[in-house]
Amino acid sequence: MSHTKKISQIISLFYQADQDVRLKNMGYDAMDRQDKRSYALALLILKNHLKLRPTDAFYLAMLLHHTAHRTWMMRAQQLAEFAAQKQCRNGDWLAKAIFDRRLLMSGKPQRYGTQYKINKQIGEMELCEMEGGEDFYQKPKRNMLN
């Protein structure tokens, strides 16, 4: 088995573990522990492994984009854009979601309509503030880089 294939398998396993914690709603503590492991793995791989497959880039972006650390968020954005350029499934969505998250974290309204929050008064999810851009879920998908 090649080195790249082994790296891909490790990335895939961490991505699946990350998704399990989130989709099974295992709680904040479990998510925080998984995030710390995922960040450490992602940064180690990015530091030592320059050639990534598009799917690996997507998975690493997914692992990194939940952080509040601006440098890691920028790296996640770059990885997601690479995945989108290579036609990786959901790469375009992830690149837009990270872009929106970065805007919201800097106090600006989102552009693509990918981020939601809980309205505590009614207990339902609602779209975070938009800057008048397109709602990603209502418009046909297209590459954000065009």
Quick count: other Cβ atoms within 10 Å of Cβ 44? 11
Q: Which residues pair with 55 in a beta bridge?
A: none
Amino acid in the structure at residue 6: K
Q: What is the pTM of this model?
A: 0.79
**Cα 14 off chain centre by:** 14
**Token pair 């699946």 in the structure block, residue:** 16
Under DSSP, is residue 110 helix (H, G, I), strand (E, B) or coil? strand
The model's pLDDT over 10-66, given as tens digits with 9 standing for 90+, comes to 999 999 988 888 888 888 888 888 888 888 988 888 888 778 899 999 999 999 998
pLDDT grade for 140, boundaries at 50, 70 and 90: very low
